[in-house]
């Protein structure tokens, strides 16, 4: 089975885990028929091969990016304008998506990027608290409860076709959590930590070219 086939099978069959935190909601975008269709189109377009790729893991998708489209760090605008996939998801923008696709253009465009890199998240579900995006590690209790789900997610995604010499983790807290898991499970030999796109866009926008260069260097480009 190709990288695309494995990814489509995994994401299309994701079951929503139960959370025992009343204040935190969970969104499984892959339950929606339109997202399943997008997942098929996206992976068949860019991943329909047996190439191994550099893996880049974010935290968990935002509600206007991967939590809406089913494609990590990809809001509806990027999905249409950069990836050439039309949807009825509207015109919601996400800061992280804006940074990622500017970086992808500097890498050489979507086709070259996705031939070499797989962008994903440790937890494939969006989390919401008080109507805003929430990170799995924002509550140590929640992070502990989701630990088995995250381990299962990492193992399943590695099986798509990961280059296991190293992995890129976005965000320091995300990397700290992943490092502990990696020590126990030896998912990857080396961990490279980069600043999260949202942090860059919110607090370091004037240095965006520096961070894009940093990403490209980490990706070997």
- In this structure, what CATH number is given to the domain that contains residue 165? 3.40.470.10
Strand partners, 178: none
Distances (CA, A) of 171 to 58, 85, 115: 7, 28, 24
Q: Is 127:25 a contact under the CB 8 Å cutoff?
A: yes
Contact 165, 189 (CB under 8 A): yes
Residue 165 in 3-state DSSP?
A: strand
Confirm if 34 and 66 have CB atoms less than 8 A apart: no
Look at residues 192, 216, 218 and name the one whose alpha carbon lies nearest to residue 99: 216
- Candidates 97, 57, 52, 53; CA nearest to 194 is 57
Find all residues with CB under 8 Å of 92, minimum gap 6, and list them: 64, 68, 75, 76, 77
Q: Which tokens in the block code for residue 196?
A: 């999260």
* pLDDT of 60: 97
Query: Residues 151-173: pLDDT tens digits?
Result: 999 999 999 999 999 999 999 99
Q: Name the residue range of residue 171's domain.
A: 3-218
Is pTM beyond 0.85? Reply is yes
**Rounded to 10 degrees, what is the CA torsion of 113, 123, 159, 2?**
-50
User: Tens of pLDDT along the chain (221 residues)?
Assistant: 999 999 999 999 999 998 888 899 999 999 999 999 999 999 999 999 999 999 999 999 998 899 999 999 999 999 999 999 999 998 888 999 999 999 999 999 999 999 999 999 999 999 999 999 999 999 999 999 999 999 999 999 999 999 999 999 999 999 999 999 999 999 999 999 999 999 999 999 999 999 999 999 999 97
- How many domains, the chain? 1
Question: Residue 192: beta bridge partners?
Answer: 168
């Amino acid at each position: 089975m190709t990288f695309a086939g494995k990814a489509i099978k995994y994401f299309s069959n994701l079951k929503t885990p139960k959370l025992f935190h009343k204040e935190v909601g969970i969104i499984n975008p892959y339950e929606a028929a339109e997202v399943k269709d997008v997942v098929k189109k996206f992976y068949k377009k860019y991943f329909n091969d047996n190439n191994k790729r550099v893996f880049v893991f974010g935290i968990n998708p935002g509600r206007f990016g991967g939590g809406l489209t089913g494609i990590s760090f990809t809001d509806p605008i990027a999905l249409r304008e950069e990836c050439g996939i039309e949807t009825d998801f509207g015109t919601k923008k996400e800061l992280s998506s804006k940074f990622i696709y500017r970086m992808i253009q500097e890498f050489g465009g979507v086709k070259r990027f996705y031939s070499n890199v797989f962008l994903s998240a440790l937890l494939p579900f969006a989390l919401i608290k008080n109507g805003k995006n929430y990170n799995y590690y924002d509550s140590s209790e929640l992070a502990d409860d989701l630990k088995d789900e995250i381990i299962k997610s990492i193992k399943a995604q590695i099986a798509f076709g990961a280059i296991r010499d190293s992995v890129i983790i976005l965000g320091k807290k995300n990397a700290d959590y992943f490092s502990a898991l990696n020590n126990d499970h030896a998912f990857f030999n080396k961990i490279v930590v980069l600043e999260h796109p949202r942090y860059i866009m919110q607090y370091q926008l004037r240095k965006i070219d520096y961070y894009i260069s940093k990403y490209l260097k980490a990706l070997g480009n």
